[in-house]
């Protein structure tokens, strides 16, 4: 029997890409799945897609960039579902703009979506997990959360911040049966580069060539769920691009040389 059977799993960014396939994987595991994003029509599509697998898929629509809406969604979920066993903080937004041309308002927007929204949700569900002496946090970061990368300053900063927050959360709450798994995908064929914002805060609308050749979101989601079941805490997902993580960790001087020459796409 799956460890997620009859557990309540809440997934943000679930209307497409990795989040959509996470919903499918957890449904196959027999979980009660709450799917969230700011796209109600797409959430309904995902729900209908999963109906042959599970009748317990529940859309909860809200915008990660609106702190009040995030808190209201958390209050609603806790009231309707009597707690969350697994929170998959997966939703987010990327950027493609230089530090010198990015207004601080855009930095704040990206931090709100990629960092603070997940913090609000984590703080909302954590007390119930502590009370039940069990809970999981699955957090979608990126390899750009391990090192800096051109044209992703705010995005990289937000993903770095996730590591600091969840490592602290785990250190404080491990004794209560709380688990944290940080996921750092490299190139995955999703819409994240299409939706990445430029210096004016508009969707760029272009798929990065490297990302187009990345792994499928379905494969990524399968690796994520399998890693949770195995109790892993820090998971790299992708192809040869993951080599940059090891170069940064072990040959820092070479990383700095390479970073200055890297294609931002």
pLDDT tens column, 125-136: 999 999 999 999
State the average pLDDT for the chain: 95
Determine the average pLDDT of the residues in 236-263: 91
DSSP 130-152: HHHT-EEEEEE--GGGTS--TTB
Confidence of residue 263 (pLDDT cuts 50, 70, 90): low
- Which of 41-45, 188-192, 193-197 shows the highest mean pLDDT? 41-45
**Which pLDDT score is estimated for 194?**
85
Per-residue pLDDT band for 3 (boundaries 50, 70, 90) equals very high
What does the pLDDT average to over 59-73? Answer: 98
- Tokens standing for 113? 């979506």
Q: Which residues contact 68 (CB under 8 A, 6 or more apart)?
A: none
What local confidence, expressed as pLDDT, does residue 211 receive? 81
Mean pLDDT on 103-132: 98
The pair phi, psi for residue 8, each rounded to 5°, is: -95, 120
Q: Is the pTM of this model over 0.85?
A: yes
Q: What is the pLDDT of residues 208-231, one digit of tens each?
A: 887 888 999 999 999 999 999 999
Residue 103's pLDDT band, with cuts at 50, 70 and 90, is: very high
H-type helices in the chain, by residue range? Answer: 17-28, 40-50, 67-81, 104-111, 117-132, 153-173, 192-195, 209-212, 217-229, 243-250, 252-261
Name the active-site residue from 115, 155, 166, 255.
155
The pLDDT confidence band at residue 264, using thresholds 50, 70 and 90, is low
- Residue range 58-84: mean pLDDT, rounded: 97
Output the pLDDT for position 96: 95
Domain ranges of the chain: 8-261
Compute CA distances 243 → 91, 148, 187, whole Å.
25, 14, 12
155 assigned to active site: yes
Q: Which CATH superfamily is domain 8-261 in?
A: NAD(P)-binding Rossmann-like Domain (3.40.50.720)
Nearest to 149 by CA among 211, 90, 205: 211
pLDDT at 265: 62
Give the pLDDT confidence score for residue 205 in this predicted structure: 84
Least confident of 47-61, 196-210, 219-233: 196-210
Q: Which of 5, 7, 3, 6 is nearest to 128 (CA)?
A: 7
What pLDDT does 213 receive?
85
């Amino acid at each position: 029997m799956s460890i997620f059977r009859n557990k309540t799993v809440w997934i943000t960014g679930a209307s497409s890409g990795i989040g959509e396939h996470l919903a499918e994987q957890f449904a196959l595991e027999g979980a009660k799945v709450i799917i969230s994003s700011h796209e109600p029509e797409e959430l309904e599509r995902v729900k209908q897609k999963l109906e042959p697998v599970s009748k317990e898929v529940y859309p909860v629509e809200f915008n990660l960039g609106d702190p009040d809406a995030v808190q209201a969604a958390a209050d609603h979920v806790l009231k309707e579902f009597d707690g969350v066993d697994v929170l998959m903080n997966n939703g987010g937004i990327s950027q493609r703009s230089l530090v010198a041309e990015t207004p601080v308002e855009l930095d704040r927007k990206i931090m709100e979506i990629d960092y603070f929204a997940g913090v609000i949700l984590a703080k909302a569900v954590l007390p119930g997990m502590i009370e039940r002496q069990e809970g999981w946090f699955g957090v979608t970061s990126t390899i750009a959360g391990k090192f800096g990368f051109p044209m992703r300053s705010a995005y990289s900063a937000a993903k770095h911040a996730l590591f600091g927050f969840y490592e602290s959360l785990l250190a404080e709450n491990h004794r209560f049966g709380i688990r944290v798994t940080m996921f750092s995908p490299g190139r995955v064929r999703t819409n994240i580069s299409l939706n990445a914002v430029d210096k004016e805060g508009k969707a760029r609308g272009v798929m990065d060539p490297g990302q187009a050749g990345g792994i499928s979101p379905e494969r990524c989601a399968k690796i994520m769920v399998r890693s949770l079941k195995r109790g892993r805490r820090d998971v790299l997902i992708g192809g040869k691009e993951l080599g940059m993580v090891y170069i940064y960790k072990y040959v820092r001087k070479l990383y700095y040389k390479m970073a200055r020459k890297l294609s931002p796409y």
